[in-house]
Structure 1
């Protein structure tokens, strides 16, 4: 552990007037002669010397914790958010990476007696929202490794002075999900070793053996905090060029030549995904798939150019846009508009590749993906990958271009295609490292490793899908086993139905929760949002329609079960259908919408 690493573990002591956070190492041994003290009444922070101010252990409750996520103000006051449990995912370059499995939101104030009944209602909902976000799988951290930057970025930009900065200052702000929550600690350099950057996305690390050579294969997917949210409520780009559901996925190979850590070589290949970079929306309205909406007044060329110039600023190099949306039906308009503005913008670092995934692979004929692979083979070879030479940075090689893949959700089709590109690049990396010979035409020639690779990418796809759409990804059977299966199709059906209900009836609340967690919404106890108290069950035509539908359904069941009156049953059936038609036609009024922040 260096002077800039975050402490591995802590003991949290809770007293009536203060919290004490005492650093420990992984075995529970005291790791510092000082501790962090938080005043529960004033909210002040200070470091105390243990020998000057011994901790009165017998007077407080103690809880072992893995780290501090941050501090947030809700209605009753400030709350401390900590990591109660975390599991080790694996190591990258000798640094441990952990997945958060349990957290706790602890109020400074032990009582809510000072709140009105209305304030208590808001307090409960806001606290539940924070817990809802934290319960979403996919929060990762390392106390010594920068998960938020790619290996190539670190090799190109991490000077000795940079490496001496605290972990939070070194981290890429685009991918630190608790930056807002740690702001009270980050402002003071003294608290740097208590301030832990947390990434949202996926980290998977597997040990591999291929033809006698052992190495690690890892995937790190980083979800951006900009335009973060859920399917349907976050689409397209914002005014600064950030696109919704933007994820940077880095595939890493760690190879100790001759089992010697001093001869360690790291290679990586980076891909990106993000919502179609235009101004568009697709609000849920009870229909199975709402129609995407492009407003004529919006400057789509400006949206596209801003996004792509932002990508060049962040990554440099060339960019290939792989657009997988349908060329017919509801997706045609937005896919065609993306192609049009790409041609109109005529950016010299951007190339557009359109591939109608569903048309080309219809009837489960997914072998036709080789058509797309052939279209990108030269780009993958030309863009290359990052390679770090042990002991001689001058012999490093760098990735010079990036593939940006999108479908409508940037989930299911995107997962399949990104795994295909990653597999192609990985073959080149393993050949370059001497792990496989150049005559190897496909990783399928190494079946055990191919199985591991496919499942790692399928796990990545599932995780990204759960975070955006609320379920595991569709089409993962192809990613896992290389073909479509009956069981996979049935699982897709279940996930599709589950998505429908979550996207229509739960996601507005989840979007509010994410905005609250990221600091896009600030709680002001003196000015609580009245929109948050709105409900579809109210005294207007919408509330009447719901009550009418429930009442007519009940009457219909009574006629069937009690009176056995066919005429009355048909009458109430028609009434029920009429109410349901009203609800369906006005579907946007009946879905669960965000109420804290409107996009």
Structure 2
């Protein structure tokens, strides 16, 4: 690779004039200056003297994440702390741990503005709650086979130029640096453009039958249609689906007798997961199960074709494993998926349905083998990637992938993906001579402990990124069986998901949209004033206070002295009635109390009136058809979409809220 990334930088803050980033230990590298007066970004000529650090001591920086433009000024986002989490392909892999968000403008009044401060807080929360991985010398965003297939074309290119666009998480933030580099080759900022991956990474040294090998698990989360569990479902008009992750299982083998770490054989197997590729949503209303809504738009078939064709182009033949239930709440989604797949009838796309809930109920987890047996022919045909250092061409390539989904693409999907990965790993190790034909990796408990822990950790981290809590059913992934402790933990995580999805995920979704460029502010705080304004009626805003005060008075009444058991009867009756009325109102109007995203409010989903399926209109109060979007604090009502998208909801938001959608 050309344009080797700078691994450490010194940051010099020259008063209110500029930020200067200087590579550490390299006198032949050019420093980078960002003017705080004009906002210009300049690659300095060699030999340019460094400014003194007057206002702040010299700061050690481990990478520039990018620049985000908010309503009043730009902000430079830097990595100030990193943690080495392993070595892969001869390169160190780091997890970003601490960050700084530096305002370009030196005017402190700009950062003190409430709207600007709220946007900065969203960026900071995204950084603190995310998992951002990077390497200075190896492309974490691409699976091994993809890197091999394009290694000739990649020669001489910087990491940011070859990174997989889907998994280059901070590409939007690096937009200005990329534009400068593209427009003017003399201002080559490639060594400062650090691609980051949002996902999971784990690597461990292990052995079976005296053969040492490195076992690695990587999951890459797509930056397209990124977000939280109930605010990002289904597919968009560009064919991107929610919660799309590519998971790669890697084995690096060394010959017996060779020094540990001297690997000469590489094995890789890739799976994917993603939301069911139709227009659908679950509308939060404070019920444990939100209302399911499937929107039959004119372009549904086209966008599903776009998504699946991309999967075929990238990974080859597809096995679509659907794990949703065949009855109840999930049944309509299963039917819609299968209906549109039948209409498409795409070559190289094979559909496999497995009712996980029914087949594995009453702790019958061994029944997952039924699905593995059904997939065995496909898995054998599609193979895996296998290369050896002594051969210019790989011995095998993977010609297809299993794409798994359930409702959330979390718990059931995790269990199935780990089972598929275990089956393929046994086959790989048999073919390289580590396992006998009669053996499987499950026969080696010491290795299986690492395998189960890695897949369970991987499941937890993917789940936290999407739903806000750890994954369910990880006791099976960790131990191979369901336990009472696992059931209790699932209950805790389910409650945590409910609370976060209803009362906290709106801000988290806003942070995703801001950092990935799904929402771009215009200059002027008015473009994001919706973050601070609550347009709900006074009665709606008052009810939680009425409920809280009534509950307080009831508790206080329990401590009051009394002359008889009935002396406080009317007191408790009054406050109990008020509490019941308040909770009843909140329950009936539950949708009013959900913490909805403010930057890209889902008005097109909540107020959809076209063809499709609705499980109900709960939580919207009385007279649903007459509801005004302003009642929910959005300030704009989404358009009707009965005959397809007559006009984009983003256009409404742009007019009413001063925003625009980014198109990559």
Could you say which residue in structure 2 is the equivalent of 1:519?
Answer: 517
* Greater Cα offset, 231-240 or 306-315: 306-315
Contact 2:13 2:54 in 1 (8 A): no
In structure 2, what is the Cα distance between the partners aligned to 1:75 and 1:407?
A: 39
Could you say which residue in structure 1 is the equivalent of 2:630?
Answer: none
Could you say which residue in structure 2 is the equivalent of 1:145?
Answer: 138
Report SS of the residue matched to 1:364. coil
In structure 2, what is the Cα distance between the partners aligned to 1:385 and 1:550?
A: 58
Report SS of the residue matched to 2:272. strand
Task: Specify every segment of 5 or more residues in structure 2 that has no aligned partner in the other structure, as ranges.
Answer: 182-187, 603-664
Could you say which residue in structure 1 is the equivalent of 2:215?
Answer: 217
Contact 1:279 1:303 in 2 (8 A): no
Q: Deviations over 1:66-125 (max 9, x none)?
A: 11101112234111111111111111110111111111111123442357xxx7101211
Q: Tell me by how many angstroms 1:240 deviates.
A: 1.5
Contact 1:559 1:566 in 2 (8 A): no
Q: Tell me by how many angstroms 1:163 deviates.
A: 2.6
Q: Tell me by how many angstroms 1:407 deviates.
A: 0.6
Task: Specify every segment of 5 or more residues in structure 1 that has no aligned partner in the other structure, as ranges.
Answer: none
Q: Tell me by how many angstroms 1:270 deviates.
A: 0.5
In structure 2, what is the Cα distance between the partners aligned to 1:105 and 1:540?
A: 37
Q: Deviations over 1:392-423 (max 9, x none)?
A: 23343111111000010000111111000001
Instruction: Work out which of the residue numbers 176, 179, 183 in structure 2 matches 1:187.
Output: 179
Q: Tell me by how many angstroms 1:192 deviates.
A: 0.5
How many residue pairs match? The answer is: 587
* Greater Cα offset, 259-268 or 60-69: 259-268
Instruction: Work out which of the residue numbers 53, 57, 60 in structure 2 matches 1:61.
Output: 57
Q: Deviations over 1:456-476 (max 9, x none)?
A: 111111110110011111111
Could you say which residue in structure 2 is the equivalent of 1:279?
Answer: 279
In structure 1, what is the Cα distance between the partners aligned to 2:130 and 2:337?
A: 32
* Greater Cα offset, 384-393 or 234-243: 384-393
In structure 1, what is the Cα distance between the partners aligned to 2:193 and 2:236?
A: 30
Q: Which runs of 4+ in 1 moved over 4 A?
A: 57-60, 260-263, 296-299
Structure 2 residue 31 is the aligned partner of structure 1 residue 35: yes
| 1:357-506 equivalent positions in 2, closer than 5 A | 357-440=356-439, 442-506=440-504
Instruction: Work out which of the residue numbers 121, 125, 143 in structure 1 matches 2:118.
Output: 125
Is the alpha carbon distance of 1:164 and 1:297 closer, same or farther for their aligned partners in structure 2, counting shifts above 3 Å?
Answer: closer
Could you say which residue in structure 2 is the equivalent of 1:178?
Answer: 170
Could you say which residue in structure 1 is the equivalent of 2:267?
Answer: 267
Q: Tell me by how many angstroms 1:548 deviates.
A: 2.8
Instruction: Work out which of the residue numbers 131, 155, 166 in structure 2 matches 1:163.
Output: 155
In structure 1, what is the Cα distance between the partners aligned to 2:459 and 2:296?
A: 34
Report SS of the residue matched to 1:294. strand
| TM-score normalized by the length of structure 2 | 0.85
Instruction: Work out which of the residue numbers 239, 242, 261 in structure 1 matches 2:240.
Output: 242
Is the alpha carbon distance of 1:275 and 1:83 closer, same or farther for their aligned partners in structure 2, counting shifts above 3 Å?
Answer: same
Report SS of the residue matched to 1:363. coil
Q: Tell me by how many angstroms 1:583 deviates.
A: 1.1
Is the alpha carbon distance of 1:553 and 1:52 closer, same or farther for their aligned partners in structure 2, counting shifts above 3 Å?
Answer: closer
Q: Deviations over 1:503-548 (max 9, x none)?
A: 0000011000110111122222324233222337x54331132233
Could you say which residue in structure 1 is the equivalent of 2:66?
Answer: 70
Could you say which residue in structure 1 is the equivalent of 2:307?
Answer: 307
Q: Tell me by how many angstroms 1:60 deviates.
A: 4.9
Tell me how large the CA RMSD over aligned residues is.
1.9
In structure 1, what is the Cα distance between the partners aligned to 2:374 and 2:569?
A: 63
In structure 1, what is the Cα distance between the partners aligned to 2:401 and 2:539?
A: 51
Q: Tell me by how many angstroms 1:298 deviates.
A: 5.3
Report SS of the residue matched to 1:561. coil
Q: Deviations over 1:267-287 (max 9, x none)?
A: 101100001111001121101
Instruction: Work out which of the residue numbers 572, 579, 584 in structure 2 matches 1:581.
Output: 584
